[in-house]
Amino acid sequence: MSPDDNGYMNKKGSVRGLAEHRKALDFARRGKLQMALRLHAKACRLNPSQPEFAKEHALCLLDTHYPSEAKREFRRSLDLSWGDPEVVLDVCIAIHALHLHALLLSFLEPRKDTLPDSVGYFYASSLARHERADEAMDYLSSLGEEVRIRTPFLQVLWVQLLLQHRSAVEAMLAADKVPMNTLVPKFQVSLLYARAHASHRVGEREKVFQWLRQAKQINRSPSGTTAPQAAQRAKLLNRAVLNASVGAPPAMSGRGQGLAVLCGHPRSGTTLIEQMLDRHPAVSSVEEQSVFFDLVMTPLSASGRGDAQRAAGSIQHLGETARDGYEQDYRAALQRYLPGGPEGQEAAGETLFLDKYPDMSLALGTYHELFPAGKMVVALRDPRDVVLSCYFQDFPMNPGSLPYLDLKTTAEKYILTMEAWLETRDTLASGFLETRYEDWVNEPDAEARRVLDFLSLPWDGRVLSRPERGLQRVVTSPTYHDVGKEIYRDAIGRWRDYQKQLQPVLPILEPICLRLGYGIE
- CA dihedral of 138, 139, 144, 150, whole degrees rounded to 10: -140
pLDDT for res 426: 93
Domain with CATH 1.25.40.10 in the chain: 1-98
CATH class, domain 1-98, is: mainly alpha
Nearest partner of 357 among 339, 384, 383, 330, judged by Cα: 330
pLDDT for res 488: 59
Instruction: Report the pLDDT averaged over residues 250-261.
Output: 83
pLDDT for res 349: 57
Nearest partner of 262 among 514, 465, 455, judged by Cα: 455
Domain with CATH 3.40.50.300 in the chain: 229-489
pLDDT for res 272: 93
- d(CA 335, CA 286) in angstroms, rounded, equals 9
pTM recorded for the entire structure: 0.90
CB 378 within 8 A of CB 263: yes
Share of residues in the chain with pLDDT > 90 (%): 70
Lowest mean pLDDT across 19-33, 218-232, 501-515: 218-232
Instruction: Report the pLDDT averaged over residues 207-223.
Output: 87
Nearest partner of 73 among 100, 105, 35, judged by Cα: 100
Lowest mean pLDDT across 97-101, 345-349, 374-378, 398-402: 345-349
Residue 14 scores a pLDDT above 90: no
At 484, is the pLDDT very low, low, confident or very high (cuts 50, 70, 90)?
Answer: very low
CB 449 within 8 A of CB 265: no
Q: What are the pLDDT digits (tens) for 416-467?
A: 999 999 999 999 988 999 999 999 999 999 999 999 999 999 999 999 987 5
- Number of other CB atoms surrounding residue 329 within 10 Å: 16
Q: What length is written for the chain?
A: 521
- Number of other CB atoms surrounding residue 146 within 10 Å: 8
Architecture per CATH, 229-489? 3-Layer(aba) Sandwich (3.40)
Cα distances (angstroms) measured from residue 267 to each of 133, 261, 414, 423, 452: 23, 17, 10, 21, 22
Q: Largest alpha-carbon pair distance within the chain?
A: 76
Beta-bridge partner residues of 15: 9
Residue 251 scores a pLDDT above 80: no
At 298, is the pLDDT very low, low, confident or very high (cuts 50, 70, 90)?
Answer: confident
Average pLDDT over all residues of the chain: 88
Terminal Cα-to-Cα distance of the chain (whole angstroms): 60
